[in-house]
């Protein structure tokens, strides 16, 4: 993916969840990507983070790959890599 913008992390403290702040931050990041002239936005989401997957799906993100990563004690988790054409 050429000319892409990666969103690495957006965290909202539990005390402030449900107020639309995550959506505002996310939309700000998408607008930054547009303003920079990017063609794509991509991000990783843990395969078991269903709430986040639903959130990204509403924006039209599509899964394009998986990334396995060690989490300790020989265990491995998997992130789904998602992309959105701007």
Enumerate the domain spans of the chain: 18-85
Residue 83's contacts (CB-CB under 8 Å, 6 or more residues apart) are 1, 4, 40, 41, 42, 61, 62, 64
Per-residue pLDDT, averaged over 35-59, amounts to: 96
Rounded distance, CA 85 to CA 9, Å? Answer: 19
Write down the pLDDT at residue 5: 98
The pair of three-digit structure tokens given for residue 66, joined into one six-digit string = 């998986």
Write down the pLDDT at residue 1: 82
- Closest of 18, 54, 34, 25 to residue 8, by C-alpha: 25
pLDDT band at 84 (very low <50, low <70, confident <90, very high): very high
Q: What is the pTM of this model?
A: 0.89
CATH superfamily of 18-85: Gcn5-related N-acetyltransferase (GNAT) (3.40.630.30)
Mean pLDDT of the chain: 96
DSSP letter at 19 equals: S
Active site residues: 56
Is it the case that residue 42 has pLDDT exceeding 90?
Answer: yes
């Amino acid at each position: 993916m050429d000319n892409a913008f990666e969103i690495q992390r957006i965290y909202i403290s539990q005390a402030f969840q449900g107020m639309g702040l995550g959506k505002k931050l996310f939309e700000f990041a998408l607008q930054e990507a547009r303003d920079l002239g990017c063609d794509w936005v991509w991000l990783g989401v843990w395969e078991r983070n269903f709430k986040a997957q639903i959130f990204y799906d509403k924006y039209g993100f599509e899964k394009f790959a998986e990334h396995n990563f060690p989490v300790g004690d020989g265990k491995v988790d998997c992130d789904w890599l998602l992309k959105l054409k701007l």
